[in-house]
């Protein structure tokens, strides 16, 4: 986006630039993007706030004041960021790797999957998915920040929360009756071994022919004694160790029948409600599919008895980090994930040239089984890791920097 901002300035454009998306942040916008453009640049935390920001920028009476206020805030964020950079420090990549997580001496053997390979789920029932909806995030989408179900008891937000919840139930019935959406998924479990910060995925149990190489990043922050500098490859047994390990992957999507949505073209509220529910149902389908992997396909948690609330707290064994998110921030790794699962053929889900998923109500993730695997933030990386990563990916340093700009 910094390149886009520079190009807009070079071409003499005057339109405000709004920044949003799952991997964007206000601090990244302030430090990396806003200085590249001489017109208003505003980070919008989520799409529902975009209309208000646009209204402020289009209102002749307040746009100058609003833009100045945002610019002043970003200048302050840059000062704070600069001060923080001076205080902070990164380990060299070599030192970070020497402080990796090593699961030695545990007497641990990776679980062999009951049903390895690729499994296609042509449709999840709406009734089943509804039980896996995280309603807390549903309310967040409507700007009602409060935990479900306690938000109902909030003296300020409670009444509106109950109304939204009841409207959501009615809309789910409408979706079911009109067959407005369809949910699909694909999951795979593959033989794998780590090789440094990479994970090699094999085409068969004989492990003689690599099918793909997954490229991960390592946290380089100076840690307190005893805390490792994590990389996702740490949770897979190393190549040559004599231990057979596996890695999983999944893609789930909720497809909206846009022809049937024409019925609501003059009903903004219902349209927004359906699309917000589609996002929640996509996450619910990922939750359900991950559970099926743990219990039925991989089978390392056959007796798991967790409530939906437990699942939302990640109380299960293992993790499912998504490409483009803190533990594996490079969106380009989605391409490898999609190729392994043949996701476009098996679900109809596609990737844009910038690796956004279509439909937008989609989830993709790697699945790890190690009982000590945890979510973490790669955070800032040094020039040494950027160079190393570019070499491993077969990218130029500039291209790698483009995809990893929030981590630089």
pLDDT at 283: 97
pLDDT at 369: 98
pLDDT at 112: 97
Domains and CATH numbers, the chain: 2-87 (3.40.50.280), 117-123+183-256+280-407 (3.10.196.10)
Strands 17-19 and 41-43: parallel
How far does Cα 111 stand from its chain's mean position? 26
The residue to which tokens 């390592």 are assigned: 218
Tokens of 248: 């999983």
CB 20 within 8 A of CB 50: yes
**Per-position b or e across 18-53, b if 16+ CB within 10 A of its CB:** bbeeeebebbbbbbbbbebbeebbbbbeeeeeeeeb
Q: What CA–CA distances, in Å, run from 24 to 192, 240, 380?
A: 31, 39, 14
pLDDT at 250: 99
| pLDDT tens digits in sequence order for the chain, 408 residues long | 777 877 777 777 778 888 877 667 787 888 888 888 888 888 887 665 666 767 677 766 566 666 767 776 777 677 666 655 544 589 999 999 999 998 765 678 999 999 999 999 999 999 999 999 999 999 999 988 899 999 999 999 999 999 999 999 999 999 999 999 999 999 999 999 999 999 999 999 999 999 999 999 999 999 988 899 999 999 999 999 999 999 999 999 999 999 999 999 999 999 999 999 999 999 999 999 999 999 999 999 999 999 999 999 999 999 999 999 999 999 999 999 999 999 999 999 999 999 999 999 999 999 999 999 999 999 999 999 999 999 999 999 999 999 999 999
pLDDT at 328: 98
How far does Cα 375 stand from its chain's mean position? 12
CB 365 within 8 A of CB 319: no
Three-state DSSP at 260 gives helix
CB 405 within 8 A of CB 386: no
H or E element, residue 41: strand 41-43
pLDDT at 47: 62
| 293 closest CA partner among 360, 344, 365, 358 | 365
Rounded to 5°, the CA angle 133-135-136 comes to 135
For 379, counting Cβ atoms within 10 Å of its Cβ (0-12 exposed, 13-18 middle, 19+ buried), the class is middle
**CA 405 to CA 38: how far, in whole Å?**
20
The residue to which tokens 């949770």 are assigned: 235
Cα torsion through 384, 388, 390, 394, rounded to 10: 160
pLDDT at 78: 74
**CA 186 to CA 285: how far, in whole Å?**
10
DSSP strand E in 86-207: where?
117-121, 181-195, 198-202
**CA 45 to CA 169: how far, in whole Å?**
27
């Amino acid at each position: 986006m910094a390149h886009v901002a520079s190009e807009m300035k070079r071409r003499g454009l005057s339109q405000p630039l709004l920044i949003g998306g799952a991997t964007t942040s206000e601090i990244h916008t302030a430090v990396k993007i806003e200085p590249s453009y001489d017109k208003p640049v505003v980070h919008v935390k989520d799409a529902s706030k975009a209309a208000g920001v646009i209204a402020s920028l289009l209102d002749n009476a307040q746009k100058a004041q609003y833009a100045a206020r945002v610019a002043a805030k970003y200048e302050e964020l840059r000062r704070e960021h600069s001060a923080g950079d001076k205080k902070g420090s990164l380990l060299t990549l070599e030192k970070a790797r020497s402080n990796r997580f090593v699961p030695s001496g545990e007497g641990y053997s990776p679980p062999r999957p009951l049903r390895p390979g690729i499994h296609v789920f042509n449709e999840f029932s709406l009734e089943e998915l509804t039980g896996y909806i995280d309603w807390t995030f549903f309310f967040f989408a409507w700007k009602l920040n409060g935990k479900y179900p306690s938000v109902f008891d909030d003296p300020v937000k409670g009444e509106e929360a109950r109304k939204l919840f009841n409207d959501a139930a009615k809309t789910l019935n409408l979706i079911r009756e009109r067959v407005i959406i369809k949910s699909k998924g694909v999951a795979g479990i593959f033989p794998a071994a780590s090789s440094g910060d990479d994970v090699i995925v094999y085409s068969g149990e004989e492990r003689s022919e690599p099918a793909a190489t997954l490229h991960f990043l390592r946290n380089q922050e100076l840690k307190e004694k005893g805390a490792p500098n994590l990389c996702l490859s740490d949770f897979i047994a190393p190549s040559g160790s004599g231990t057979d390990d596996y890695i999983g992957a999944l893609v789930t999507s909720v497809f909206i029948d846009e022809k049937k949505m024409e019925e609501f073209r003059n009903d903004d509220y219902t349209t927004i409600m359906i699309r917000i529910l589609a996002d929640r149902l996509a996450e619910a389908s990922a939750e359900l599919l991950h559970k099926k992997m743990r219990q039925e396909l991989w089978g390392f948690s056959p007796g798991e008895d967790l409530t939906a609330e437990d699942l939302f707290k990640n109380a299960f064994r293992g993790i499912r980090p998504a490409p483009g998110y803190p533990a594996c921030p490079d969106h380009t790794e989605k391409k490898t994930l999609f190729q392994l699962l043949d996701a476009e053929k098996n679900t109809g889900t596609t990737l844009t040239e910038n690796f956004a998923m279509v439909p937008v109500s989609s989830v993709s993730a790697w699945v790890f089984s190690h009982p000590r695997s945890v979510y973490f933030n790669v955070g800032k990386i040094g020039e040494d890791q950027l160079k190393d990563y570019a070499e491993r990916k077969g990218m130029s340093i500039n291209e790698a920097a483009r995809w990893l700009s929030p981590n630089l």
